[in-house]
């Protein structure tokens, strides 16, 4: 490793959205970078890499002027771009704002130097824009090197230790800075024995990675085990109210900050899916989070405490117990008890990153607690980067959701703890497995910065940076990705019911795979109907956890959105949707139409041969062939299952295997 953040990618590694061509409009132009700060040195390095010529003696005549000054009057990470006197100017209050302004100029392309460029201020909607990596130092016997990772091994770890060569991590940090990410969690939230030691004798690993991220304005966070006082500290207990435990966490935090003064904080998954937590000691999650928060507070550190807490040993016969209710029931009574530096990290839906589920009611309920919205860029339940599924339209729908009704704030405006997502990156040559999955990583960063951006415009931006300005390529990739999320939904689990995946791997159809399991992921299909009754009147009462008007909307069959029908109601197969189709006919039609849509996407991709790089085309062709096979498998399994279950034939008289 050279330590030079401008090091170019080796042959065979795809540059994602920052190929040299992305800065071609800057080559040979003059630049002046004014001010002091570590990140301004990064900007200077980027300008040099782009082939710009530095202006001396103030640089008043430069084509591009980037300046960090307290006179800029922007938010700490914001910047203003203007055009006057033949120069494009980026002014920011801080060096981080200047760095983000530089990448904005890269995104603008040649229009950055158009005299019609309007003056505009750009400021992040959320101060915390984070990616969590579920990477393991040791390869886990079940979950592998990267839990729920579909792009090879870890870019951080190999052979049970930190990689010697971290140059790829440097290039990754550059890519993340270009889309506004400012925090990274380094390891799996399911903290195993080896990873628990990152907090103690493995701290040098964390420090080395922090050194790599620092020039790009990114602070690192560490997933910590709640049981660390026992497993690595040698104490007899991890009781959060025990004085020795309190002292141990304070000492551990102080030790971290001596090594890494800008360390971000801890991410904790507790009392969840077998992970240890405060319940073992008769304590609640405010007690558990606050002991870490007190340890971190003197150092300006944050605890991300995950709200993914539920009973994973449920009796499937018990229809009163509802996994969807669990986070609300556990956490809302604690609202107002968490310390100020606790961020409650809440998955966007009440279940687990399904292709369709309602927004979690925990988010609007926690009025006195900082809440971070958690998304999943890695495609655990959306095709695992073997299917081309562009998730930004789904995320935008989530971010736009008004939890208190029309006219009230959007979800993006409601969360006060920022946005977090699980990364989709690995050591695959294309970083994300599927070349088109890069668009999801790019879009996440852009929406975390500004939730009001249009997913189609973001996609165009990514295509232009990655592939250039070939209009045929733009149209071809748009045709594959534009409706890809809805296409995936069409040929998988219908009407919000969720899951129906192969247990363990979560890939491919298994309609009853989890139906009689203890995981609480049921569809309750029988000979008469399908769906989960979550009404207050007759079901689990989950609908009542929402504020008005949503509790009434979801409670009633007359008003519940069709796309969430089976999440909230158990209905007969002959129940008629708003489009005039019965539920059973909808299941047949969407699965057949969805598989047909994938056939068209395969043909659309084939038209791009010779217009995109050969390696990109080949990988895309192979994965689209797998998507085509899988979509047909989903179609056949789901249609056959519900035909046999209901006895109702397809009105179109099509052959159902």
Q: What is the pLDDT of residues 548-589, one digit of tens each?
A: 999 999 999 999 999 999 999 999 999 999 999 999 999 999
In contact, 309 and 271? CB cutoff 8 Å: yes
pLDDT at 72: 85
Residues linked to residue 140 through DSSP beta bridges, in sequence order: 144
pLDDT digits (tens, 9 = 90+) for 484-504: 999 999 999 999 999 999 999
Question: Average pLDDT of 177-193?
Answer: 98
Proportion of the chain above pLDDT 90, given as a percent: 96
Grade residue 5 by pLDDT with cuts at 50, 70 and 90. Answer: very low
Q: Is the pLDDT of residue 59 over 80?
A: no
As a whole number of angstroms, the distance between CA 550 and CA 630 comes to: 35
Q: CB within 8 A of 14, min separation 6: which ones? A: 429, 430, 431, 435, 438, 615, 616
In contact, 189 and 422? CB cutoff 8 Å: no
Grade residue 1 by pLDDT with cuts at 50, 70 and 90. Answer: very low
| Polymer length in residues for the chain | 657
Grade residue 3 by pLDDT with cuts at 50, 70 and 90. Answer: very low
As a whole number of angstroms, the distance between CA 25 and CA 50 comes to: 9
Question: Average pLDDT of 19-37?
Answer: 96
Nearest Cα to Cα of residue 424 among 16, 100, 126, 104: 16
Q: Taking CA 438 as the corner, what is the angle to CA 433 and CA 442, rounded to the nearest 5 degrees?
A: 155
pTM score, whole prediction: 0.97
Residue tagged active-site, from 132, 195, 380, 461 = 380
As a whole number of angstroms, the distance between CA 576 and CA 350 comes to: 26
Residue tagged active-site, from 273, 528, 574, 607 = 273
Among 37-41, 56-60, 158-162, name the one with the lowest average pLDDT: 56-60
As a whole number of angstroms, the distance between CA 244 and CA 188 comes to: 27
Domains in the chain: boundaries: 20-122, 129-467, 489-532+570-646
Question: Average pLDDT of 451-456?
Answer: 98
As a whole number of angstroms, the distance between CA 82 and CA 261 comes to: 35
Q: What phi and psi values does residue 291 have, to the nearest 5 degrees?
A: -65, -35
pLDDT at 393: 98
Q: What phi and psi values does residue 509 have, to the nearest 5 degrees?
A: -80, 140
Quote the mean pLDDT of the chain.
96
As a whole number of angstroms, the distance between CA 261 and CA 250 comes to: 15
As a whole number of angstroms, the distance between CA 125 and CA 400 comes to: 13
Query: Residue 197 corresponds to which tokens in the numbers above?
Result: 């030691």
Q: CB within 8 A of 491, min separation 6: which ones? A: 590, 591, 594, 595, 598, 631, 634, 635, 638
Question: Average pLDDT of 383-412?
Answer: 98
- Helix axis angle for 583-606 and 614-646, nearest 10°, is 160
For CA atoms 9, 104, 409, 382, give the dihedral sign.
Answer: negative
In contact, 360 and 310? CB cutoff 8 Å: no
pLDDT digits (tens, 9 = 90+) for 169-184: 999 999 999 999 999 9
Residue tagged active-site, from 67, 77, 352, 589 = 352
What is the phi-psi region of residue 525: left when phi exceeds 0, alpha when psi lies from -120 to 50, beta otherwise?
A: beta
The radius of gyration computed from the CA coordinates of the chain, to the nearest angstrom, equals 25
Burial of 596 (0-12, 13-18, 19+ CB in 10 A): middle
pLDDT digits (tens, 9 = 90+) for 285-317: 999 999 999 999 999 999 999 999 999 999 999
pLDDT at 655: 87
Considering the domain delimited by 489-532+570-646, tell me its CATH architecture. Answer: Alpha-Beta Complex (3.90)
pLDDT digits (tens, 9 = 90+) for 495-549: 999 999 999 999 999 999 999 999 999 999 999 999 999 999 999 999 999 999 9
Query: Residue 208 corresponds to which tokens in the numbers above?
Result: 């080395």
Task: Indicate if 471 belongs to the active site.
Answer: no
pLDDT at 7: 44
Grade residue 10 by pLDDT with cuts at 50, 70 and 90. Answer: low
Nearest Cα to Cα of residue 226 among 195, 259, 188, 269: 269
For domain 129-467, give its CATH number from 3.40.50.300, 3.40.50.140, 3.30.470.20, 3.20.20.80: 3.20.20.80
CA distances from 221 to 182, 189, 447 (A): 11, 11, 21
pLDDT digits (tens, 9 = 90+) for 608-652: 999 999 999 999 999 999 999 999 999 999 999 999 999 999 999
pLDDT digits (tens, 9 = 90+) for 200-218: 999 999 999 999 999 999 9
Nearest Cα to Cα of residue 601 among 624, 620, 583: 624
Residues linked to residue 371 through DSSP beta bridges, in sequence order: 344
Grade residue 4 by pLDDT with cuts at 50, 70 and 90. Answer: very low
pLDDT digits (tens, 9 = 90+) for 247-277: 999 999 999 999 999 999 999 999 999 999 9
Q: List, as one string, the DSSP characters of 629-656.
A: HHHHHHHHHHHHHHHHHH-PPPTT----
As a whole number of angstroms, the distance between CA 368 and CA 286 comes to: 13
Nearest Cα to Cα of residue 59 among 38, 35, 82, 27: 35
As a whole number of angstroms, the distance between CA 333 and CA 56 comes to: 61
Grade residue 57 by pLDDT with cuts at 50, 70 and 90. Answer: low
As a whole number of angstroms, the distance between CA 359 and CA 363 comes to: 8
Task: Indicate if 273 belongs to the active site.
Answer: yes
Query: Residue 275 corresponds to which tokens in the numbers above?
Result: 């992970």
Q: How many CB atoms lie within 10 A of CB 317?
A: 7
pLDDT at 73: 85
In CATH terms, are 20-122 and 129-467 the same topology? no
Task: Indicate if 352 belongs to the active site.
Answer: yes
Query: Residue 387 corresponds to which tokens in the numbers above?
Result: 């299917």
CATH superfamily of the 20-122 domain: Chitobiase/beta-hexosaminidase domain 2-like (3.30.379.10)
Residue 549, preceding bond cis, omega within 30 degrees?
A: yes
pLDDT at 395: 98
């Amino acid at each position: 490793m050279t330590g030079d953040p401008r090091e170019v990618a080796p042959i065979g590694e795809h540059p994602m959205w920052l190929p040299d061509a992305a800065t071609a409009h800057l080559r040979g132009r003059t630049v002046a970078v004014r001010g002091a700060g570590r990140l301004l040195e990064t900007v200077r390095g980027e300008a040099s890499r782009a082939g710009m010529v530095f202006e001396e003696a103030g640089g008043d005549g430069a084509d591009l002027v980037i300046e960090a000054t307290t006179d800029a009057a922007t938010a700490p990470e914001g910047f203003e771009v203007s055009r006057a006197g033949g120069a494009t100017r980026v002014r920011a209050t801080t060096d981080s704002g200047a760095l983000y302004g530089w990448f904005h100029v890269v995104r603008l392309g040649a229009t950055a130097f158009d005299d019609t460029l309007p003056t505009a201020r750009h400021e992040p909607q959320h101060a915390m824009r984070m990616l969590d990596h579920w990477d393991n130092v040791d390869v886990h016997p079940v979950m592998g090197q990267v839990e729920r990772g579909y792009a090879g091994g870890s870019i951080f770890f190999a052979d049970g230790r930190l990689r010697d060569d971290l140059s790829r991590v440097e290039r990754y940090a550059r890519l993340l800075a270009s889309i506004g990410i400012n925090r990274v969690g380094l390891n799996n939230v399911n903290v195993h024995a080896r990873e628990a030691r990152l907090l103690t004798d493995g701290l040098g690993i964390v420090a080395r990675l922090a050194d790599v991220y620092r020039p790009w304005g990114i602070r690192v966070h560490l997933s910590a085990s709640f049981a660390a006082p026992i497993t690595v500290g040698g104490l007899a207990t991890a009781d959060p109210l025990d004085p020795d435990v309190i002292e141990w966490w304070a000492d551990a935090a102080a030790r971290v900050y001596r090594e890494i003064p800008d360390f971000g904080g801890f991410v904790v998954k507790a009392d969840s899916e077998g992970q240890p937590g405060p319940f073992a000691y008769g304590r609640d999650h405010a007690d558990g989070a606050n002991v870490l928060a007190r340890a971190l507070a003197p150092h300006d550190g944050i605890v991300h405490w995950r709200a993914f807490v539920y009973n994973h040993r449920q009796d499937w016969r018990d229809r009163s117990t509802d996994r969807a209710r669990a986070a609300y029931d556990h956490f809302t009574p604690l609202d107002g008890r968490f310390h100020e530096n606790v961020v409650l990290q809440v998955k966007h839906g009440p279940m687990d990153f399904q292709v369709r589920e309602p927004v979690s009611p925990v988010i609007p309920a926690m009025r006195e607690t900082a809440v971070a919205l958690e998304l999943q860029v890695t495609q655990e339940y959306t095709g695992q980067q073997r299917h081309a599924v562009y998730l930004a339209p789904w995320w935008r729908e989530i971010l736009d959701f008004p939890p208190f009704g029309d006219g009230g704030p959007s979800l993006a405006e409601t969360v006060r703890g920022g946005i977090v997502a699980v990364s989709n990156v690995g050591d695959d040559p294309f970083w994300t497995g599927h070349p088109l999955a890069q668009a999801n990583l790019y879009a996440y960063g852009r929406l975390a910065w500004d939730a009001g951006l249009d997913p189609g415009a973001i996609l165009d931006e990514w295509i232009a940076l990655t592939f250039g300005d070939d209009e045929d390529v733009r149209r071809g990739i748009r045709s594959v990705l534009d409706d890809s999320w809805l296409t995936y939904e069409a040929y998988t689990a219908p009407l919000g019911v969720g899951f129906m995946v192969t247990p363990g791997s979560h890939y491919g159809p298994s309609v009853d795979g989890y139906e009689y399991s203890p995981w609480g992921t049921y569809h309750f299909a029988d000979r008469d109907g399908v769906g989960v009754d979550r009404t207050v009147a007759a079901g689990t009462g989950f609908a009542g956890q929402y504020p008005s008007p949503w509790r009434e909307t979801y409670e009633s069959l007359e008003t519940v959105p069709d796309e969430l029908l089976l999440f909230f109601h158990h209905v007969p197969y002959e129940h008629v949707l708003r489009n005039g189709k019965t539920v059973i006919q909808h299941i047949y039609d969407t699965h057949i139409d969805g598989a047909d849509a994938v056939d068209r996407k395969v043909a659309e991709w084939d038209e791009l041969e010779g217009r995109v790089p050969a390696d990109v085309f080949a990988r895309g062709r192979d994965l689209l062939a797998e998507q085509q096979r899988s979509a047909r498998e989903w179609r056949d399994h789901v249609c056959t299952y519900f035909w046999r279950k209901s006895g109702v034939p397809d009105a179109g008289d099509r052959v159902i295997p």
